[in-house]
Structure 1
Amino acid sequence: MDARDRRSAREATAGSSRAVRRRPRDRRAQIAAASAEAFGSFGYHGVSMDDIASRLDISSTALYRHYPSKYALFREEALRLGALSEEAVRLPEPLRERPAEERLAHILDALIAASITNRRSAALLRWQNRYLEDADRQILIDQLVTTDAAVRALLAQSRPELEGPDHSVLAAAAMSVIGSISDHHVSVPVRPLTNLLRAACRAVTECELPPPGRADTESIGVSEIPLTFKHELLLERAVELFHERGYPNVSVEDIANAAGLPASSAVYRFYRSKGDILAAAFRRAADRVSAAIGPAIAASDSQEQALTTLIELYVTGSFAERDLTFVYYAEISNVPTEARTVLRNIQRLNVEEWAKLLAGVRPELTAAEARLLVHAALALVVDLGQWLGPDNPRCSRQRVIHLMQIILFGRPAR
């Protein structure tokens, strides 16, 4: 190759390089999508601007040209997702005079479509919204209240025989089913996924609820931990703090004080780090769910009976550890990588065992569809407690068990 050919080659390469680096027209939308997915996967505090820039193969300087800060990115995407849910419940003019059942089906379909489209980023909205500043969080709350009110109003019109608070329970259950797909990566094609979510929402909104429980009889007594059991106290107090403030806002010193230890250094006699405390609490809960599977199957005469037993045990355990159930979904990204891999594997195996039982009851479901419904049923427990209050008698154990059966079986257990 002579000098002219080499120069032409260099110019072609440089031209190609410049073409590749040309700023795309939708760069801002790309940044928003990548950041939302990162926040949903690793938590708001677990992601930096450099991380987001790396995902897009751009410099952090280029990123700052579009957004002045990580919070600006976080805020924009959280409020965009809230606005989408608000928009989904606005009925088009031709439908406004249609029967309530038809209008309800339309807005649930619109919410399902929005959830599927934004599946990879919606975990941000479900589990990270506590990190919005107060004024921005109020905007988001107003958006979600509008969405919830629209669903409740149509439920009230289509099911006037129900008491008002029960409209809230069924609306929250349907929204939980729709939102649960952001909590996992089970892959189902869009059309069958839409049909599956639609059928589950319809089963929930049309079901007959058991009578509401009483808070004093439904609450589960938890034995007081002796002050000498520092290992247990650390776990319990740490989870309480993580639930109240969020994992990044809790220090080892905070945990030591809450557990009555003289100094933060005393925590390290039991755990190497704050992340190890979180991992230990999660591992205990995961092992409890796993350990129940074999005995439930062995003691049951059918797959439906075994799965019903597992539902009851899961709800009872979750009610006994309300804070931990929420913290698992919201903070698992903060568990050290190796421990997180172990926890994810245990959860995956647990879900697969439940899904096998469900497929035996409903052979029309594919393996992936059965797993997806199991995830939806499990998410319901934390969503109802979080949205309607952990001690709300309208969300008693018996009612949550019943709604999990509705999601999984499409009917009450026999």
Structure 2
Amino acid sequence: MTGTRPKTTRPRDRKQQIIAAASEQFRTSGFHNVGISDIAQAVGISGPALYRHFRGKQELLYATLVDAIDKNADPFRGEHAGLRELLDAVATAMMERRHAGVLWERELTHLPQEQRHELRARYIATIEPLRSAIAAFRPELSADFVDLTLRAVLAVFASMSQHAGKLDESRARLLMADVGMTLCESPELPPPGASEPARPPVPRGRLLPVSRREAVLASATRLFAERGYEAVGMEDIATGAAGLAGPSLYHHFAGKSAILVAALTRCLEAMLFDLSSALEYAEEPGQALDGALRSFVRISIEHGAAMSALLNEIVNVPPEERQNVRRMQHDYVTEWTALVAGHRPELSAPEPELLVHAAHSVINTLRRDGGVWNRPASQSEIVAFGRTVLGLPTPAQSKG
């Protein structure tokens, strides 16, 4: 019997181990930058062994998103004395699984449309108890506004749980539930009128800049937003730039990643430039913060799809160039954080930054129309929800 290999037993939770490893790999590196071999190695098995459980990477991504939704379902299904108790339970659960929102936000687009619709329907069914609790707490609200409030609350929870590393966990949960409750108590605004369209403006003619370099950037930004970075080739970008020949692109950019870096830098520089106006003309932090909020909402509505797509693709930027983009993002958030701290001196050091990230998340969430909600938010509604998260007075409070 010498030399006989001992028989090994496959763990019963092997499939769950694979899902957990894939979730972490997708979150840190991005779907396209992760191979089946990477996930298998993280679990300690071979690639062929992984294929016994999943037919491919796309099926595995779908499984990780289903797993994230189902694991967050428990607090919504439990017995709760009221809305506040439910918010506390949801905040606790989301703190335990802080990074699920990153997968949903960034990687959902890599699945077929049918699966995306299925996952959204599954998610909406999961969070229905919170929607019902908000409606019961505020019976005077319209169904549309209850939906907007629900989306704002969940955006706050997803963002704050992800960025709460510097704050004591119990304090983070309390702050999340406090902000969520304040959002649920917010007054409903009149529906958008004829002067304020509910939907973002839709580009029509798409006039291109005369400069070839600018035309390339405009073409690439649009294509990255529509298809994703990995699905776009240099020839696609050249064709979109008024029929520019593919090889001539390299006269302006070293490669596709250089175009992505330039597009990202352009977005962030525009945001920082707009923020400088809010700082220059304000007399105190709250006034500047309100100006910065309005600026960010306007930019998000006019260019939000492109901005979100570009920022989600930062995992495809080479590490040495990614650092500069991250620095610009950090600078933008730092300016907002200083304004929140100046406006609300009662907050402890990590809390203003958490509120800034939460406000940005609410704005980006509400300006999107995923095709499963009754209507997207209007610009005035997005500004109002942002004010509530940041602790800025509403127009009615200002008059009082």
Per residue, is there more helix in 1 or in 2?
1
Amino acid at match of 1:44: F
Helix, strand or coil: the match of 2:248? helix
Could you tell me which residue of structure 1 aligns to residue 108 of structure 2? Answer: 129
Helix, strand or coil: the match of 1:260? coil
2:337 counterpart of 1:350: no
* Structure showing greater Rg: 1
Shift of 1:337: 2.0
* 1:12-411 aligned within 5 A: 28-55=15-42, 60=47, 63-64=50-51, 67-92=54-79, 95=80, 102=82, 104-181=83-160, 184=163, 186-214=165-193, 217-218=196-197, 225-226=207-208, 228-387=210-369, 395-409=377-391, 411=393
Percent identity (aligned) = 30
Residues 270 and 261 (structure 1), Cα distance of their counterparts in 2 relative to 1, 3 Å cut: farther
Shift of 1:387: 3.8
TM-superposition CA deviations, 1:42-94 (whole Å, max 9, x none): 221121123334545665466556555333432221111122344432243xx
Residues 232 and 136 (structure 1), Cα distance of their counterparts in 2 relative to 1, 3 Å cut: same
Contact 1:212 1:393 in 2 (8 A): no
Contact 1:35 1:73 in 2 (8 A): yes
Task: State TM-score, norm by structure 1.
Answer: 0.82
Contact 1:276 1:336 in 2 (8 A): no
TM-superposition CA deviations, 1:332-362 (whole Å, max 9, x none): 2122322211111111122122112211222
Counterpart CA distance in 2 for 1:342 and 1:227 is: 26
Shift of 1:395: 1.7
Counterpart CA distance in 1 for 2:27 and 2:176 is: 21
Contact 2:221 2:310 in 1 (8 A): no
Provide the aligned C-alpha RMSD in A: 3.1
Amino acid at match of 2:156: V
Amino acid at match of 2:335: E
Residues 402 and 269 (structure 1), Cα distance of their counterparts in 2 relative to 1, 3 Å cut: same
Contact 2:300 2:307 in 1 (8 A): yes
Counterpart CA distance in 2 for 1:30 and 1:394 is: 38
Residues 282 and 227 (structure 1), Cα distance of their counterparts in 2 relative to 1, 3 Å cut: closer
Counterpart CA distance in 2 for 1:126 and 1:405 is: 23
Residues 120 and 184 (structure 1), Cα distance of their counterparts in 2 relative to 1, 3 Å cut: same
Listed as ranges, the gaps of 5+ residues in structure 1 are 1-17
Shift of 1:302: 1.1
Listed as ranges, the gaps of 5+ residues in structure 2 are 1-5
Contact 2:238 2:244 in 1 (8 A): yes
The more displaced of 359-368 and 52-61 is 52-61
Counterpart CA distance in 2 for 1:194 and 1:123 is: 19
Contact 1:200 1:410 in 2 (8 A): no
Contact 1:166 1:394 in 2 (8 A): no
Counterpart CA distance in 2 for 1:155 and 1:201 is: 11
The more displaced of 53-62 and 380-389 is 53-62
Contact 1:37 1:124 in 2 (8 A): no
Counterpart CA distance in 2 for 1:48 and 1:336 is: 18
Counterpart CA distance in 2 for 1:110 and 1:265 is: 56
Counterpart CA distance in 1 for 2:338 and 2:377 is: 28
Counterpart CA distance in 2 for 1:297 and 1:227 is: 30
Contact 2:286 2:392 in 1 (8 A): no
Residues 410 and 297 (structure 1), Cα distance of their counterparts in 2 relative to 1, 3 Å cut: closer
Shift of 1:305: 1.0
Task: State TM-score, norm by structure 2.
Answer: 0.85
Residues 73 and 89 (structure 1), Cα distance of their counterparts in 2 relative to 1, 3 Å cut: same
Helix, strand or coil: the match of 1:122? helix
Amino acid at match of 1:159: R
